[in-house]
Amino acid sequence: VQLQASGGGLVQAGASLRLSCVASGSTLSSLDMGWFRQAPGKEREFVASFRRGVSNTYYGDSVKGRFTISTDNAKNSVHLQMNSLKPEDTAVYYCASNTRGRIITSSIRNPSAYKDWGQGTQVTVSS
């Protein structure tokens, strides 16, 4: 699968952005999907994920209540709606999936559980 993320940009604190990740080469409706982010000098951080079948969503503590992950099977895409953005949300955002199989719940926040990664989209939030 190839993942193409888009929608990043430069916004002021308090604004909203909607990231999109379009897949080719595989059907997202059969995959667990995740969003991660990485700021300069920091480790890759879990943001949100969507588990197929059970349709469960998971969020990182720092984004809970502000970000929402959703899927669009018709467009083979996954989205991340980001509201009330803060300067600390500044990072490169990556979408990820695992075409090698399901991700167990205990690993859903672990980047190493995802084998397929998009190229990332930059989000910059100014204060």
pLDDT in tens, 2-41: 999 999 999 999 999 999 999 988 888 888 999 999 999 9
> How many Å apart are CA 122 and CA 92, to the nearest integer?
4
In contact, 30 and 87? CB cutoff 8 Å: no
Torsion sign, CA atoms 69, 70, 71, 77: negative
In contact, 125 and 15? CB cutoff 8 Å: yes
pLDDT in tens, 100-126: 888 988 999 999 999 999 999 999 999
Q: Which residue has the tokens 């929402």?
A: 68
